[in-house]
Structure 1
Amino acid sequence: MRKSHTRTGPVSGRRTLLAVVVALAALAAALSWPDRDGPGHTDRTFRVWQWNIAGNALHHGAVDDGLAEAAVDSIRHREADFVSLNEVCRGQFDRMRELLVGSGWPSGRGTFARFAATRAASPGLCGGTGDYGIALFSRDPLGAAREYVLPSDGTAEHRRLLCAALRDESRMKFCTVHITTSNAVVSGVPANVRQLRAVLKVLDGFDAAGQAYIIAGDFNAQPDYARLNAFYAPSASTAANPANTGSHRELDDADKAHCPGYGQWTALGTPGSAPPCGGRAKIDEIFVRESRLAGPYTAVALSVPTSCRGLVRCSDHRALVGTVRLRMP
């Protein structure tokens, strides 16, 4: 039986040489790509769900009128990774946590949920059932959390910025906030501006330490308001949202179908000033550091559920759901 032989002539030699050249070029390109975090960094996609539920103003702390179920049904349907809640009563937070555990989110009381009280329990608050504040949930277990007290607006509410790190990726943080509506001047600066500046200082500190973050909440400011110019990056500037000087993109600011630079409205109430694209106001935002973006991002404002007993609508805000891919530390 004849043995077969592999021939290595000039053509196959050129092919081998070409393959080596291509491989070396690919390696050089990879090595030349800027990587501020060093080798081994990864990209990760997050879906963020933000809702001001009006838990006291409309529901008076109720846990059995369908609000918690409406929220958790939407969270599950949208496959959220991170949930930010504003104007939530402690009992409503506890009920949502129970429902999420039943949906397969991390079990255990402290692993994936955080609550920060901005007003202590009182007879006229949340139906007298407990504290009132802001909260967050994470599909992945959470590690250390911290509450940052924001400058006072002179009212009984002590606003906070609540941030928690992922347990297994401690350099990734999720934050939620509810900024005051007050523009009362304190030491020469409006209260809402003072609070926004305090939030920005914390976020800048995260970035300086090489940490990634997402912040969601009710900022009580429309994107075109001057007090948000220090948040939005210049690249987000449009006719509907000009003069930006910051370092962030908002997950709804690239929505060309609605209002580029501004996004979709989220608040049912009468806006403080006319939105640049008409309609109602957008005051709920989801911000990420522009330098952390690893691809396109999107957001959509959802219809307000009508399933809450005794109410025409479950809230006076629309939930905002965004998807973003970030470069991880």
Structure 2
Amino acid sequence: MAVNRVILALSAVAILVAPSAAATGTGTTFTVLQLNICHGGMAGCYRGDAVMHKAAEVIRLSKPQVLSVNEACSGDIDRLRPAMGPARALFAEARNLDGTPVLCRGGDGRYGNIIMVSAGFAGTTEESGIHAAQYTAADGIGELRSWACLPAARLSACTTHLSSDNAPTALAQCRELISRAARHPRPVFVAGDLNLRGQGVRDCDRGGFSRRGDGNVQYVFASDDVSFVRTDDIDMAGTTDHPGLLITGSR
């Protein structure tokens, strides 16, 4: 199936973004939004709270059923939830090498990943943890990478942010999470900044899933009962070093 990719500079008139999940004659349409907002304050891409305003705008206009946010702070859930609307949210903290939580700059709470699923599709089960494979020599800011999943009967979704300094570790983490997600009720989506490119991400492929990416390191994997319809890269106006990745699929 052909997939369209366009760069969207979201504004009040850019309501061309993929539709919300809705029953159609052929099934249900889903939208999945992947963001790396670089809001922890430790990396050079940090632009302060400007990214929070932009992220909220993108969420409001794209109306995703699944929202994956990397390099976020625990306090960001309450700031993004109004744009998302009623949703179940789960935060997975990264940890320092001594096991303590990594903290965001400026008192915004713990540093890690957020997964949200709209209330109409969310359940009550949640899972999160630290990847079994970790590159501890000098990975990023020295954190142990985390993952989070919200499995439910109507839709299951996971997020992660993989090792930035060691591709074999990132691949092991990717395979670990995809294998975990494969046990969840379908449809299943896994989104995140995988820090894998080319053959690296192809080596993470497994039966039962397909994927789309932003041409760099962000991807959305979907169980093979979902057909990809559209892929959009969203201009984040310099507030972070990654575009938004918006995927539309149908089942």
Q: TM-score range by the shorter chain?
A: 0.7 to 0.9
User: Equivalents in 2 of 1:88, 1:176: separation in Å?
Assistant: 12
Give, in whole Å, the separation in 1 of the partners of 2:64 and 2:154.
Answer: 20
Which amino acid letter does the alignment assign opposite residue 152 of structure 1?
Q
Match for residue 23 of structure 2? none
TM-score calculated relative to the size of structure 1 = 0.58
Task: Name the CA shift for 1:116/1:296 in 2 (closer, same or farther; >3 Å).
Answer: closer
Kept after mapping to 1: 8 A contact 2:186/2:223:
no
Instruction: Give the C-alpha shift of residue 288 in structure 1.
Output: 0.6
SS in 1 for 2:125: strand
Which residue pairs with 1:320 in the alignment? 245
Secondary structure of the residue aligned to 1:70 is helix
Shift of 1:100: 2.7
Higher relative contact order (CA 8 A, sep 6+): 2
TM-score, normalization by structure 2: 0.74
**1:194 maps to amino acid:** A
Residue in structure 1 matching 2:211, options 242, 250, 254 = 250
Q: 1:31-83 CA deviation, whole Å, 9 max, x = no partner? A: xxxxxxxxxxx9321101101011123447x5xx3322211111111121111
1:87 matched to 2:21? The reply is: no
1:85-164 to 2 correspondences below 5 Å: 85-97=69-81, 99-100=82-83, 105-106=85-86, 112-119=88-95, 120-122=101-103, 125-140=104-119, 142=122, 143-150=124-131, 151-154=133-136, 155=139, 156-164=142-150
CA distance in 2 between partners of 1:72 and 1:96 (Å): 6
Contact 2:102 / 2:143 at 8 angstroms: preserved in 1? no
- Give percent identity, aligned residues only: 25
| Distance of aligned partners of 1:126 and 1:225 in 2 relative to their CA distance in 1, 3 Å threshold | farther
Structure 1 gap ranges (5+): 1-41, 185-189, 232-244, 253-263, 266-281, 306-312
Say if 1:227 and 1:215 are closer, same or farther in 2 by CA, change over 3 A.
Answer: closer
Give the Å deviation of 1:229.
Answer: 2.6
Structure 1 residue 127: Cα displacement: 2.6
Query: Which residue of the partner structure matches residue 203 of structure 2?
Result: 229
CA distance in structure 2 between the aligned counterparts of 1:193 and 1:219, rounded to whole angstroms: 8
Q: Root-mean-square deviation (CA), in Å? A: 2.4
The alignment covers a number of residue pairs equal to: 211
Q: Is the 8 A contact 2:91 2:113 kept in 1?
A: yes
Measured against aligned partners, the alpha-carbon deviations of 1:109-158 in whole angstroms (never above 9, x if no partner) come to: xx522111113254xx4234420000022222532110142122215422
| Richer in helix (by share) | 1
Structure 1 stretches of 4+ with a deviation exceeding 4 A read none
Tell me the residue number matched to 2:155. 172
**Structure 2: tracts of 5 or more residues without a match:** 1-25, 96-100
| Bigger strand fraction | 2
| 1:199 counterpart = 2:194 | no
Larger Rg computed on CA atoms: 1
Q: Provide the secondary structure at the position in 2 that maps to 1:285.
A: strand
